[in-house]
């Protein structure tokens, strides 16, 4: 039972970390590109967003979300060097790529990928990002989940004692 509680807790933390870092990336990218932030919401229980107007370099603002949303958690996990930190980072890798792919498929004009395409980002760049993050993220995140959910070791004295 504890394994499932651990998994659920780490998934909740991962969701908050992913939505926060992704949206903060857009905010930071907009700031770096001279955009004016007019409205934002980074609450994890809704779909976070940030609106910039004017945005002189929308490609920077748009790419900063998925890039910062991966680089920051991975950098933090590399510093912390604990399995839970890597679980969160690997979730962020997979989720950012999956989000861009799903947004591309949906075509919703308010999501990142259609906005990136409208701003002139080459399709191949988005596709490459999705392949790398979904491909690598899937295998890493799957291994993280398996490590949490694997049955207790038969060498563990606590599980071998007669009850």
Which carries the bigger pLDDT value, residue 133 or residue 154?
Answer: 133
> Over 60: is that where the pLDDT of 68 sits?
yes
> Over 90: is that where the pLDDT of 32 sits?
yes
pLDDT in tens, 76-98: 999 999 999 999 999 999 999 99
The pTM score is 0.90
Domain chopping of the chain, boundaries? 2-152
- Under the banding of pLDDT at 50, 70 and 90, the label for residue 154 is very low
Q: DSSP letters of the chain? A: -HHHHHHHHHHHHHHHHHHHHHHHHHHHHHHHTTPPEEEEE--TTS--EEEESS-S-HHHHHHHHHHHHHHHHHHHHHHH--HHHHHHHHHHHHHHHHHHHHHHHH--TTSHHHHHHHTT--HHHHHHHHHHHHHHHHHHHHHHHHHHHSPPPTT-HHHHS--
pLDDT in tens, 118-147: 999 999 999 999 999 999 999 999 999 999
């Amino acid at each position: 039972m504890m394994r499932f509680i651990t998994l659920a807790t780490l998934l909740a933390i991962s969701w908050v970390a992913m939505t926060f870092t992704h949206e903060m990336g857009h905010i930071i990218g907009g700031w770096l590109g001279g955009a004016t932030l007019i409205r934002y919401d980074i609450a994890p229980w809704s779909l976070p967003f940030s609106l910039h107007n004017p945005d002189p370099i929308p490609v920077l603002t748009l790419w900063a979300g998925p890039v910062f949303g991966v680089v920051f958690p991975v950098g933090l996990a590399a510093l912390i060097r604990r399995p839970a930190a890597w679980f969160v980072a690997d979730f962020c890798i997979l989720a950012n790529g999956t989000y861009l792919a799903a947004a591309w498929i949906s075509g919703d004009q308010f999501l990142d990928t259609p906005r990136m395409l409208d701003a002139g980002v080459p399709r191949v760049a988005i596709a490459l990002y999705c392949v790398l993050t979904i491909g690598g993220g899937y295998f890493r995140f799957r291994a993280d989940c398996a490590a949490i959910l694997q049955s207790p070791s038969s060498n563990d004295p606590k599980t071998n004692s007669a009850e």
